[in-house]
Structure 1
Amino acid sequence: MVLPCNFLELSDRIIKSEYLNYLKWTENIIEFLTTLEDEQQALRIVSLGLEIDLQLGAKLAGAVKLEFQEKAIAILLEDERPDWLDMYLIRIAKSGEGITRFIEIIFDNHPSHFISDRPEEILEKSANSHKADLAISNLSDALRNSDWQIRAAAANTLGELYLFKDIERIIADLINALEDPEQFVRFAAARSLGKMAKVQGVQKAIPKLGQMLKDEKHFLGRCDIAEALGELSTCEGIEDVIPILIDSLNKEDLNVRQSAALALGQLYVATRNETIFENLNRILITEEDFSLPSTVSVALEQAGLKHKAISNLLNSLQSLNSNFKWKAARALDCLIDGDEDFTYIIPNLLEVLKDVDSNVRMYAISILGNISPDDVITELLLALEDQEPLVRRYAISALKKVKSEIDISLVLQGLEDNDVDVKRSIIELICEKNIIAGIPKLLEILEDDASELREDAAMTLGKLNAEVAVPALLRTLESDDSFLRYQSASALGMIGSKSAIPNLRRAFENETSYGLAKVVEALGNIRDVDNKDIFIQGLESEDKRVRQYSAKALAKCYLPEAINGLVEFLEVSEDFIREWAAETMCGLADFWASDGRMDLVASMLPIFSRLPMLADWDTPAFENPEALEALAKIQKICGFYSLDL
């Protein structure tokens, strides 16, 4: 397809309605703009694109000739919008002319998750521009501001400008900021220097960072400094701070110790200093806290020391006293996973299973479950009879990973265990392994008014799709125990039997709050359009969960009313809910498009188009890229950007 020769002579209305609004013309118009010599016309096309769709406008602004981009980006960013949205559009435009606004956003919001992924293309394109020089000058001035928050923001922002040509000045400014009287400015400077590991001259900061790690009192600062030193592991002079980092392993604050361990792992890769390994290995068998050995294991793996540490620990298991032996077993559990072949240590672990210390046996079972549970099924089943309940529970967890056949009768015997958590774990095993033979036992538990596990049994019967359990679940749906009613409703929904619909509809009239949400969810899972009245009624509920499950139910039935129900959840602060709502609407769009109902698909466009501009979304916490991404997908299905043209 080729644009007409008189394209620029056409009216704004025609260009918008017959060309810009259709996705089939977008690439042609972008290519056309890259060679268009007429600045006024190029900016006209950008402005017209923005009137149709923000993302389209951003693409067009980034496509015009380089000498026109300053004005094009100014047009793109001239309206007042939330910071996250401007950043989103700058990324789409991929123009170095967006650098001024980019720096302003970082300065105002840092740290913020929506700028954590640096737009390197923008930085590269702007690195040698006059705007870059001006930005660095302004930030340098800000480092001398009387307001420490402005100084901290400037230090943070300078760390993002690692591609700029005046990098020596940036490094010098940041090293000076390490002397700032305000601790949070110092921490910001340390973080920024850590981002510049590949920049010549940053090694000058290492002595000062080492001294700061030794002297700093605030744990957050010590963490930032340790992490920065880890990032600078390949720099000249880094070996001088190894003793300071090792000393930090013994500090009181766990966060500092974890940061130091990870940094030492990075330094080992660069220096091969064996003192690092000796001290990390020492932590594995002496540390009381459970979190630090896990972090040390990550550091050892990243340093390529995992197998060496495992060999040392296996040897230690033969000689350590009981107080250290369980710690060695715990460390092995942290280090060993199913990603590599560790079957060669199974004989060692089977010997450890005989240890008198239940903690040692527990970790041995955990490791066996990670390595190759199918090779030790007999031993795992025997462990179900261990005198320590926690060991039995670990054995059940390991059995969940077995892929071959296991003796079901021995598993089901676990339901007679005197420890309720062991029995609960057995029920989970029945569920995960889809053990249909366990259904009769689960029904016994469900019908036993004295059992503490009725809710677990109800949920598992649902997950096993046990049709035979429907009568019993209908009875427990009327229990005085509210949680049992909720789980019974959920189970009936998972089974999907339409015979449960009358009872669930009655429950809808009687339940409140969370129970009402579970009933609506169950009816939604049954996917009967005759329950549409319930779902629409649920959309009017004061309870957010009921409204959400009602919208979800309407969507599962592919009913048009789902659109209005889902809109609310495109506007909430929780990003995972927004993502769910956006994905659900895209799924509806795909279904309706395949069914030839393009009118329903097109009706979504105005909804998504207005969402990013909501006035309430003026903080990073309310960024909403999900709406823009969903809008782009629906536009692609429709083949056009806007329904209004």
Structure 2
Amino acid sequence: MAAANILREWREYVPLEPLFLAMQDPNKRVRSAAKWALVDVGAHAPQEALHPHLTDPDAEVREAVLYALGTRAPVAMVLEALDVPEQGLCAAATYLIGLLGEHVPVETLLTMLQSRNAHIRVAAARLLGNVEEQRIPLEPLIEALHDPEQSVRLEAIWALAKSGERMPQTELRALLDDTDQLIQREATKVLASAGDPEALSIIVGWLHADHEWARENALVWLRTPLGAVRNAIVQRLPIEELLHLLKDAWWPVGYMAAGMIAMLGENAPFTELHALLSDPLPQARRAALYALAFLGDDVPLSRYIPIESVLIALDTEDIETRRQAAKVLSSFDIPVPVERLLPHLEGENVELAGLIARQGRQEGIDILVANLRTSFRVDYALAVLGELGEQAPSEPLLAELHASDISVRQGVAATLYETHPELLPQLVPELVETLCTGQVGPLLEPLQDIQIAQALAALRSTHPNLLSWFDQALDSPSWEVRMWAIIGSSQMAPHGLEPTIEKLQRLLDDPESASVREAARGALETFARRTATDEHRE
């Protein structure tokens, strides 16, 4: 399964046939991993290699091939698959029909809207919202507002939202009192996007709810579905309604409000955001930095925000504020003075390390590599290393292909695809061998030890043989094996563990992994508590 998940990221370097073979594996999880590998690898394969499998007797194979073909899939076959009993294949066809919308005649969509199958009506309503604004047929969609299936009604609401000045506001306004709260909510959002005063007033009320979870939920509602409706609502709302949420004590509210403000692009309230960078409330400073970080993806921040204000934010004691300041600085389109950054470089701030690494400094790269060997900051480290291209060191990345976390393995594989594609032809054969035969080579051998360590730690047993195994595993070259050996050792009684305790004390300064150091600290604290308890009982 690990082999399949890694191969999934290497696309044109991976042969298709081993993936088809792996979809016959007796293990369901392996078949699933092979299927999604086939989807991603097949997307880069020639059509002629996939088309023969469209008639495979296995519905999961046909499903994977349809996903892999995407817009290259035959329209007739996709339409046929909409009405099959196999749920996975039907879901693939429903997804693809959305991609193929412009190739499906409106008349066909109107016929689909009358289907007995709800998922076909859902697909039809969704596609009708994707035709040209002036060609969206209103009457069938207005009728669909009263469909017995909630999902059809929702798609009809969203489709009508795209009809511009022709939007039937009277019919949508009737849904503001609908007994279905989700229908009521989505109709409110659509009407607000068109500037309806009543709908906008309802949304402002959501944002002023007394309970923080209610305010958070209101912002979640406004963020979904994505697209034009959400952007239009933000442009219609008074900006002060979002700015006051940046000071909310409940951080998810400030974070999501920052994301909403960022949708305004160059029309965002930069003066107010700049003022919040020196606000006495830490949550306000963080939320302003969130907004600027989001805006920095599309807007040249140096035109609106003086860089010195963001550099000052690096001096705060709050690590989350420092991280967000580093993210904002990485969006500036002017050089950031690296000498001002180096004094703030620390192990956990991979955002700042990334900013320094992007300027070619080894100090930043070293911090990113160190965070590959942790269980908490690895994702961002991988993302930045991927941006460095061939400047990213390959050996630490290769070493983490055997990580226990599937998302880390896939992240490392994706990063190697971006940074060192020349290595992939050498690595693929070993993983194909593992996928097809179960024979494990050097790339994944450490994963076996990690899984053994996890399993033995889960036993929570004080058996002497286990104690001996964990003691030896504390010297493993794999940081994850050492970490799980520490966790397993911490389940043991403290007496008779002097050599193990000495190793744990040395691992407090483990040179490779912060996660190992943290686990060692926790284990020693556990031993100390147990010893004190035993002495008290005596």
What is the TM-score of this pair, normalised by structure 1?
Answer: 0.41
Larger Rg: 1
TM-score, structure 2 as length reference = 0.47
